[in-house]
C-alpha cells in the first residue's frame, strides 16, 4: 500500500475486522495509504487476505490490530492466528502491537469528525453520545465508558457512552435519556473505524430518536495515522507477549 518506506524497514501488517460492506475495506485502504511504511492489510473475517496470507513471504513483520478496543479479537483470535503462522514458519519474526485505542488522539479525531458535522469542540450546550460497536467483553465496554468520562472534561454538557450491540444503553436509548434530562443539544460521535452495518444503524436510529447531528466514522483521520506509527515503533521495541 503506502510507499516511501525506508530500505530494510520491517513491514507493517495491519489487521482489520473485515466487513461485507465494500466501504469498510475502502476506508481501511484510505487510512493505510497515508502511513509512510511498507504496509500490508489483513482481515479477520469477510475479506481476503487473512493474516496468514498477508504474512506469506515475509521474514519479519509488525502486526497491529486495527481495532479500537482490546477484546476477544485482539486477545484471542489474533494471537492464535500468529501462533499458527509461526508454527508453519519458525523463522518468521513477528512483533505484535496494541490496538488503536484507548489513546488521547482518538478524542482529537472524534472532535474532528464532530466539527465536520458543525459541532464546535467542547460546547457546553451540547451533550455527546459516544457510540462503540459494543462487546461481550465487559472490559472493552468499560474502556469506552472511561473514554466518555475523560472526554466530559473538555467542556461538553455531558458525554454518555452507548453500544450498538451486546450492551446497554443503545445509542437511541442514550439520546432519549439525554433529551429527557434536558440536554439543549444532543449529538452522536461514532467510535467506529469504518462505515458499514453498525454505522448505518446508529445514524438511522439516533436521528429517529431525536439526535441533532451524527458525525462520520473515524475513517482515515490523520490522528489515526499518528497512532499507527506510534504503535508500530512501540511494537518494534517492546512487542506484546503472545500466548503459547
Among the listed residues 131, 211, 195, 142, the one whose alpha carbon sits nearest the alpha carbon of residue 165: 131
Considering the entire predicted model, what is its pTM?
0.93
Measured in degrees and rounded to the nearest 5, phi and psi for residue 76 equal -120, -60
Q: CA nearest 101: which of 140, 129, 51?
A: 140
CA dist 58 and 45 (Å) reads 22
Q: Is residue 216 within 8 Å of 207, Cβ to Cβ? A: no
Question: What pLDDT tens digit does each residue of the chain (244 aa) get?
Answer: 544 344 348 999 999 999 999 999 999 999 999 999 999 999 998 999 999 999 999 999 999 999 999 876 677 788 888 889 888 999 999 999 999 999 999 999 999 999 999 999 999 999 999 999 999 999 999 999 999 999 999 999 999 999 999 999 999 999 999 999 999 999 999 999 999 999 999 999 999 999 999 999 999 999 999 999 999 999 999 877 665 4
| Spatial distance between the Cα atoms of 133 and 196, rounded to a whole number of angstroms | 11
Amino acid at each position: 500500500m503506502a510507499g516511501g518506506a525506508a530500505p530494510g524497514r520491517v513491514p507493517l501488517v495491519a489487521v482489520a475486522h473485515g466487513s461485507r460492506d465494500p466501504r469498510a475495506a475502502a476506508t481501511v485502504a484510505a487510512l493505510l495509504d497515508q502511513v509512510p511504511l511498507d504496509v500490508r492489510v489483513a482481515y479477520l473475517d469477510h475479506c481476503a487476505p487473512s493474516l496468514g496470507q498477508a504474512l506469506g513471504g515475509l521474514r519479519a513483520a509488525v502486526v497491529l490490530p486495527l481495532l479500537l478496543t482490546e477484546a476477544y479479537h485482539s486477545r484471542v483470535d489474533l494471537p492464535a492466528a500468529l501462533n499458527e503462522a509461526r508454527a508453519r514458519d519458525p523463522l518468521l519474526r513477528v512483533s505484535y502491537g496494541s490496538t488503536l485505542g484507548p489513546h488521547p488522539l482518538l478524542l482529537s479525531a472524534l472532535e474532528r469528525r464532530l466539527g465536520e458535522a458543525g459541532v464546535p469542540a467542547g460546547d457546553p450546550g451540547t451533550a455527546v453520545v459516544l457510540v462503540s460497536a459494543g462487546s461481550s467483553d465487559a472490559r472493552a465496554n468499560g474502556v469506552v465508558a472511561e473514554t466518555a468520562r475523560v472526554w466530559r472534561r473538555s467542556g461538553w454538557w455531558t458525554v454518555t457512552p452507548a453500544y450498538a450491540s451486546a450492551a446497554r444503553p443503545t445509542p437511541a436509548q442514550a439520546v432519549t435519556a439525554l433529551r429527557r434530562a434536558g440536554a439543549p443539544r444532543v449529538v452522536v460521535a461514532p467510535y467506529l473505524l469504518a462505515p458499514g452495518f453498525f454505522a448505518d444503524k446508529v445514524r438511522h436510529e439516533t436521528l429517529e430518536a431525536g439526535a441533532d447531528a451524527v458525525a462520520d466514522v473515524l475513517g482515515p483521520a490523520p490522528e489515526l495515522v499518528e497512532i499507527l506509527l506510534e504503535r508500530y515503533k512501540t511494537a518494534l521495541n517492546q512487542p506484546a507477549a503472545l500466548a503459547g
